[in-house]
A and B are shown apart, each in its own frame.
Chain A
Amino acid sequence: DAGITQSPRHKVTETGTPVTLRCHQTENHRYMYWYRQDPGHGLRLIHYSYGVKDTDKGEVSDGYSVSRSKTEDFLLTLESATSSQTSVYFCAISEYSSGRSYEQYFGPGTRLTVT
């Protein structure tokens, strides 16, 4: 299994509070991603990173920010949590090498509930 951990694994928070989710990898992969997964919507990309301090927005980035100060860590922050951000959040990593093509490996996920 790819060495990807996410913390916390479960969190319940109140509307309006900031929340930070952490993704940590031991694979030294360059690319990291944050997705959310909701019934009826599948996986949706929130933000991604293509290197230390290099990040960009995905399709559902409103209300989220990210930071990557080290290769191994990618943080997702909900600036002011809303009930619509209740979801399961997955981190993924990928790398390019000859004969392969950026296949993604996923972390175990964080289940976030905003009350």
Chain B
Amino acid sequence: QKEVEQNSGPLSVPEGAIASLNCTYSDRGSQSFFWYRQYSGKSPELIMFIYSNGDKEDGRFTAQLNKASQYVSLLIRDSQPSDSATYLCAVKVAGGSYIPTFGRGTSLIVHP
């Protein structure tokens, strides 16, 4: 049973701070890792994906992957109230699988 775990939150950070969202996974064969943002009442939106150990940066977002420790993180720098949403982590194993396993998401609140 593949498991992807996220703290449900809410994680509350002040505007301008760094928000750190974490995700752990159980399957060591996991290869691809995705972060989605979901605003209330809306559909999930892909914001980042990462395949290799280390960091991947895209604007204010940085994904960090540590396969040895089986976790992936999303850092949001200079957090804005518009970043308030639920962030979903998804993990896909290696090989021909095209179906990811989703975590239940972490609610982020950025307060002015």
Interface residues of A (CB under 8 A from B): 31, 33, 40-43, 45, 48, 50, 58, 90, 94, 96, 100-109
Q: Is the CB of B43 within 8 A of A42?
A: no
Interface centre among A45, A58, A104, A108 (most CB of B within 10 A): A104
20 A-B pairs with CB atoms under 8 Å apart are: A31-B98, A41-B104, A42-B88, A42-B103, A43-B102, A58-B99, A96-B98, A100-B49, A101-B49, A101-B51, A101-B92, A102-B100, A104-B46, A106-B43, A106-B44, A107-B43, A108-B42, A108-B43, A109-B42, A109-B43
Contacts of A45 in B (CB 8 A): 99
**Does B102 contact A42, Cβ atoms closer than 8 Å?**
yes
**Shortest distance from the beta carbon of B94 to any chain A beta carbon, whole Å:** 10
B80 interface residue (CB < 8 Å to A): no
Please provide the 3 A-B residue pairs with the shortest distance between their CB atoms, ordered closest to farther.
A42-B104, A106-B43, A102-B98
Q: Across the interface, which residues of A come within 8 angstroms of B99, CB to CB?
A: 33, 45, 48, 58
